[in-house]
């Protein structure tokens, strides 16, 4: 996408406090000049399509930067028009995602992420402009994927993810509600368990089952925060046939039980809390 698009959130409206896009621009071309101001939002995420200054870096063409609350934002080009895409976000889920994926903050990062950026920014903009109200569930998912992809590109920029691993990742995503085994995942891409596990660890920085568990736990957290399904239903939707096993794994990952997590995080009326299905 190379045409200019702009979004500004309407004033007012209720949201859970987990995530909200205040404003967003794609391929916004600015006249010569350098901006400088303190960041007031949780995050200002920016990508420079053409040469510009950002922070202490003089040439940021092809770079991205995530400014957080309280940082001094300084960026622009004093001698020529400059093209950039950006997004201003608020909410606890924003800070959590930045921390969870260990993305470097408040400094320009050079990485081959133009395709990643274009894909996720287009998806977020489409979500914002296609509906009257922001769907926080969708936005949190898209933002988390964007930050994960950016972080992964920094951790192993020299490693191209093999097609078989991408297909295995897709297979896991499509079967999060199924109690998958390592053997099943490896067989889905015609690799031995040992070879698949070794390659996955090399490219993703964690084992296949650690990756799968993390995705299931994040999905379970989203279900608990945005839906009123019982713990039994959430367990089934995230690949656990036994809700007690699910609750145990959830506590190990998040440090609290599913019910306590829901009480703290959910913006919805807790009609499912206290039911006999909850643990």
Handedness of CA 155, 45, 96, 118 (dihedral sign): negative
- Alpha carbon distances (Å) from 225 to 146, 176, 203: 20, 18, 31
Q: What's the pLDDT at 198?
A: 93
Residues 221, 259 share a domain: yes
Residue where a domain terminates, one of 90, 124, 155: 155
**According to the model, what pLDDT value does residue 15 have?**
57
The reply to whether 14 and 144 lie within a common domain is yes
| Nearest Cα residue to 212 out of 248, 243, 171 | 171
My answer on whether 87 and 204 are in the same domain is no
Look at residue 228 and tell me if it is in a domain: yes
Q: Which of 155, 180, 204 marks a domain boundary?
A: 155
In a domain? residue 270? no
pLDDT tens for the chain, 279 residues: list them.
568 999 998 865 555 578 999 999 999 999 999 999 999 999 999 999 999 999 878 889 999 999 999 999 999 999 999 999 999 999 988 988 888 888 899 999 988 898 899 999 999 999 999 888 888 888 988 999 999 889 888 876 555 678 899 899 889 988 988 999 999 999 999 999 999 999 998 877 789 999 999 889 988 988 888 788 899 999 998 999 889 999 999 999 999 999 998 887 654 433 333 333 332
Let me know whether 148 and 167 are in one domain.
no
Domain containing residue 75: CATH number: 2.60.120.280
For residue 215, the model assigns a pLDDT of 87
Pair 149, 168 in one domain: no
pLDDT value of residue 263: 84
Region of 233 please: left (phi>0), alpha (psi -120 to 50) or beta: alpha
Question: 167 and 206, same structural domain?
Answer: yes
Report yes or no on 53 lying in a domain.
Answer: yes
Residues 6+ apart with CB under 8 A from 210: none
From 116, 136, 155, give the residue that closes a domain. Answer: 155
How many domains is the chain built from? 2
Both 125 and 66 in a single domain?
A: yes
Whether residue 127 sits in one domain with residue 211: no
CA angle, residues 114, 93, 256, in degrees to nearest 5? 135
193: left (phi over 0), alpha (psi -120 to 50) or beta: alpha
Asked whether the beta carbons of 224 and 238 are under 8 A apart, the reply is no
CA distances from 249 to 13, 53, 118 (A): 36, 46, 35
| pLDDT recorded at residue 157 | 54
Asked if residue 178 and residue 139 are part of one domain, the reply reads no
72 inside domain: yes
- Of 232, 264, 277, 278, whose CA–CA distance to 18 is shortest? 264
Query: What pLDDT, on a 0 to 100 scale, did the predictor assign at position 17?
Result: 72
Domain that holds residue 218: 163-265
Q: Which residues lie below 8 Å from residue 58, measured CB to CB, with a gap of 6+?
A: none
């Amino acid at each position: 996408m190379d045409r200019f698009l702009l979004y500004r959130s309407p004033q007012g409206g209720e949201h859970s406090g987990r995530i909200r896009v205040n404003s967003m621009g794609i391929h916004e071309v600015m006249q010569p000049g350098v901006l400088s101001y303190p960041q007031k939002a949780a995050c200002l995420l920016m990508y420079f399509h053409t040469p510009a200054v950002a922070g202490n870096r003089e040439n940021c063409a092809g770079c991205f930067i995530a400014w957080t609350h309280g940082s001094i934002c300084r960026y622009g080009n004093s001698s020529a028009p400059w093209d950039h895409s950006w997004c201003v976000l608020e909410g606890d889920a924003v800070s959590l995602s930045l921390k969870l994926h260990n993305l470097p903050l408040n400094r320009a990062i050079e990485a081959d992420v133009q395709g990643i950026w274009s894909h996720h920014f287009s998806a977020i903009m489409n979500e914002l402009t296609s509906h009257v109200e922001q769907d926080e569930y969708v936005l949190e998912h898209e933002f988390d994927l964007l930050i994960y992809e950016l972080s992964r590109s920094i951790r192993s920029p020299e490693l191209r993810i093999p097609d078989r691993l991408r297909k295995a990742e897709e297979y896991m995503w499509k079967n999060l509600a199924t109690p998958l085994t390592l053997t099943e995942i490896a067989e889905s891409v015609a690799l031995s368990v040992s070879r698949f596990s070794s390659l996955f660890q090399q490219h993703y920085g964690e084992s296949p089952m650690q990756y799968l568990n993390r995705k299931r736990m994040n999905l379970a957290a989203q279900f608990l925060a945005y839906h009123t399904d019982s713990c039994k239903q959430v367990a089934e939707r995230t690949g656990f046939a036994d809700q007690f096993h699910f609750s145990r794994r959830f506590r190990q990952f998040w440090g609290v039980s599913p019910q306590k997590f829901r009480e703290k995080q959910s913006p919805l009326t807790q009609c499912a809390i206290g039911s006999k299905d909850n643990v």
